[in-house]
Structure 1
């Protein structure tokens, strides 16, 4: 598994004070390969390299060359780790909405009624504390703003627990793959989401993974439930959401606590681990936090980690997946 995207400083001459991220490891391998090649050439010219040294250097060079394609394939797009002290702002752009869905005043930051900030959960574990008061509509972070595209596969890891009030009435939506394309948003507002639904009893908390496979559907709220699970308040869960944005061969997948989930097709009843459809109605981007409900209860959630990448390995740690 590739390391998470965190800047580290490498001592030494040509790497002194250079910040390297996950995507920068490809650059390091390229530099290492180049250095070995240069030393081999110099050694052969000056005859200062023994046959054994040349042989070993060539073996190392061959090994590093094999690693280059793998290093270039993976790309960690976003990483938030509360335990490392990350500010919630690394997630992207904060979105807040006030009483009854009123627009948040321009230039006004979060306050006690709606916030999303790195702190601790009720057990003292580092986490981003997400909160919105009763009747308030939204406390979210909008991620990968302007960075998504068609015909890509996005892997999203989400480690989170839900406090009292996160339910069907007060805070139903805790993850959304949100459409920002004005031409299609009226018929396909949220192509995929994690959403609480009403249980058979007041103390039953059920979460659905739902999706809309057809952007041309004639209803704004037309997502169909693919997977459902009863959750417990205060328990941390790990989600891995995979979204392929091909308009003709797209699909979604869900990992729950590290295991690939079986979903049920709403149209055929078929059991599948890869639900096909078009989940790219245009400019569509991920959001985490609390949204909707606006009922009489305040609600809270606690986000321990988020990762978004281009391979399953990028989110394995956050989503609890063994690769």
Structure 2
């Protein structure tokens, strides 16, 4: 009986929580990794200058008083993000990313479209394959609605510079808390999956229109790592988001609570 009980727990031994941010526990945002800020109209952030009222990412509270990392990017400012797992990702692995977040009411999200990036930092391939997977905004059907897309490279075998194509889309409401689970396999013939509010999402192949829950591709063109926050064009509106939890692990169980699974 003892042998059977040991065997029962063995599948869980390989799981490894790589990052765990919990605003309700009072975690500092710096747990996420390295802060990236970008200045007025895309200018470099002044060397040695800390975050300020124009761009910040710090543990505070959301408008309802719930502990969260408040992410802010003023009008004409391009980036307020954290770069996670710096130098820790590798080929032929599967990464599970849980992301619990809400987005500020009334903001023009066309001015800060990207809220999650699986970003390539390999100088040899970044010009061709800059952001292999991302969550990105579009304007919705009314002022209080917005559309968020899960997008990725269009063709895993294409040897050309191609833009990301939408795999999944959803119209959401400002101020509502949502849970995302993003699965990225970094094998040469890898894949991505998306959980939304605890459910595995159906993705649509942009080329064939085939429906699938596992979209194939090479999502590790070089050193590729996750980022969360706000990034995009400057425009005229300030943008805010509120991040309650981020968990990254090596098994789905690692992110189940954060992703609502």
Would the TM-score normalized by the shorter structure come out above 0.5?
Answer: yes
- Tell me which structure has the larger Cα radius of gyration: 1
Deviation at 1:159, TM superposition (A): 0.1
The within-5 A match list for 1:62-73 is: 62=3, 65-66=6-7, 69-73=10-14
Q: Provide the TM-score with structure 2 as the length reference.
A: 0.95
1:145 aligns with: 86
2:224 aligns with: 284
Residue 303 (structure 1) aligned with residue 224 (structure 2): no
Structure 1: gaps (5+ residues):
1-58
Counterpart Cα distance in 1 of 2:175 and 2:236: 20
Q: Provide the TM-score with structure 1 as the length reference.
A: 0.77
Counterpart Cα distance in 1 of 2:37 and 2:188: 31
1:233 aligns with: 174
2:27 aligns with: 86
Residue 185 (structure 1) aligned with residue 109 (structure 2): no
SS at structure 1 position matched to 2:48: coil
Higher helix share: 1
1:214 aligns with: 156
Deviation at 1:278, TM superposition (A): 0.8
1:123 aligns with: 64
CA RMSD of aligned residues (A): 1.7
Deviation at 1:320, TM superposition (A): 0.2
Q: Deviations 1:239-260 (Å, cap 9, x if unpaired)? A: 0000001112x00000000000
2:117 aligns with: 176
1:263 aligns with: 203
Counterpart Cα distance in 2 of 1:184 and 1:151: 18
Quick check: 1:165–1:298 contact (8 Å CA) kept in 2? Answer: no
SS at structure 1 position matched to 2:110: coil
Change over 3 Å in CA distance of 1:177–1:187 after alignment to 2? same
Residue 223 (structure 1) aligned with residue 164 (structure 2): yes
Change over 3 Å in CA distance of 1:151–1:267 after alignment to 2? same
Deviation at 1:171, TM superposition (A): 1.1
Change over 3 Å in CA distance of 1:276–1:136 after alignment to 2? same
Quick check: 1:166–1:301 contact (8 Å CA) kept in 2? Answer: no
SS at structure 1 position matched to 2:184: strand
Quick check: 2:109–2:239 contact (8 Å CA) kept in 1? Answer: no
Quick check: 2:108–2:237 contact (8 Å CA) kept in 1? Answer: no
Higher strand share: 2
Deviation at 1:291, TM superposition (A): 0.2
Higher RCO, 1 vs 2 (CA within 8 Å, ≥6 residues apart): 2
Structure 2: gaps (5+ residues):
none
Quick check: 1:165–1:297 contact (8 Å CA) kept in 2? Answer: no
